[in-house]
């Protein structure tokens, strides 16, 4: 199975994009809804929560885990990759083996963003935690050093989506405020990256309040294409994945509540299961 982890629901947009491109594999989604949101939490707390979830997914038979959460990718991915996968590999009572891997959602979009902008000025909408981490700026800077990236944190956007208010008139104020702020800070922006997996559900309003020439980039498709390329290059990992086309959903909150809200993201009914993390 391929594990997909998110602090809540947003990673479902990543899962949806991956399954659309790679439908034959088996997937296991885990949302840590009981402890969401991750955005305002410290690096240490996000790292520890993410680590717990990743280890559980390893233990449940996922050799490959995708952090479908931008905050977790920004605050925890590097430490897990550089420390935990190496330090725990092969130790007693550890679910980690040398061939386990964890990937994030920031680098796939960072890799392509330079091909999408004409002016070289890129905007970023994300949670407070992702903006403060400057992870996008660092990743984009490594690959496209000439680009100018302006990030704006978007409080309340996640809540608007999760509580079914994305299309409501009340959402207009919060979306317009951040769009205006971004373009005032850099009028030369011609490409805006949605650096949170919830934000595609606000796409129509974001489109309404950004200038018509500005391209809006969401992550799902690019993460899926990056994963397809990764599996093509790592045939040993690809061979370990089940191919039954199944998808199982886990949450640390109430399963029925999760299933009801997940319909907003997936457009279909699902069955979820509740689990506990340490």
3-state DSSP assignment of residue 157: helix
Active-site option among 62, 154, 196, 247: 196
Q: Which of 69, 154, 179, 247 is catalytic?
A: 69
Radius of gyration of the chain, Cα coordinates, nearest whole angstrom: 18
Q: What order of strands is seen across the sheet that includes strand 64-67?
A: 101-103, 64-67, 2-6, 27-31, 247-251, 272-274
Half-sphere exposure of 23 (CA within 13 A, CB side): 1
Q: Is 191 helix (H, G, I), strand (E, B) or coil?
A: strand
Backbone angles phi, psi at 192, to 5 degrees: -125, 125
What residues does 206 pair with on adjacent strands? none
Q: Which two tokens stand for residue 139?
A: 């990743």
Q: Do residues 130 and 197 make contact, with C-beta atoms less than 8 angstroms apart?
A: no
Say if residue 15 is preceded by a cis peptide, omega within 30 of 0. Answer: no
Active site residue 196: yes
Helix extents (H) in 117-202: 128-133, 135-143, 157-162, 170-185
Q: Bridge-partner residues for 192, per DSSP?
A: 123, 216
Annotated catalytic residues are 69, 196
């Amino acid at each position: 199975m391929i594990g997909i982890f998110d602090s809540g629901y947003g990673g479902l947009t990543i899962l949806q994009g991956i399954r659309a491109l790679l439908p034959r594999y088996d997937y296991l989604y885990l949302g840590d809804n009981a402890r969401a949101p991750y955005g305002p939490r410290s690096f240490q707390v996000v790292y520890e929560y993410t680590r717990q979830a990743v280890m559980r997914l390893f233990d449940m038979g996922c050799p490959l885990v995708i952090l479908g959460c931008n905050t977790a990718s920004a605050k925890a991915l590097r430490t897990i990759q550089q420390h935990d996968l190496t330090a725990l590999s092969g130790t007693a009572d550890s679910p980690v083996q040398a061939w386990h891997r964890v990937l994030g959602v920031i680098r796939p979009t960072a890799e392509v963003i330079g091909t999408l902008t004409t002016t070289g000025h890129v905007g970023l909408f994300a949670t407070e935690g992702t903006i403060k981490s400057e992870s996008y700026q660092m990743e984009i800077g490594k690959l496209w050093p000439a680009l100018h990236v302006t990030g704006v944190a978007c409080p309340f956007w996640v809540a608007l989506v999760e509580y079914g208010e994305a299309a409501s008139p009340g959402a207009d104020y919060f979306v317009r405020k951040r769009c205006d702020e971004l373009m005032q800070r850099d009028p030369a922006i011609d490409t805006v990256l949605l650096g949170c997996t919830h934000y595609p559900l606000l796409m129509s309003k974001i489109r309404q309040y950004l200038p018509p020439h500005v391209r809006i980039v969401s992550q799902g498709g690019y993460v899926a294409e990056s994963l397809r390329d990764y599996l093509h290059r790592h045939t040993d990992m690809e061979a370990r994945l089940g191919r039954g086309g199944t998808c199982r959903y886990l949450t640390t909150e109430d399963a029925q509540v999760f299933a009801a809200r997940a319909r907003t993201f997936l457009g279909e009914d699902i069955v979820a299961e509740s689990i506990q993390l340490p």
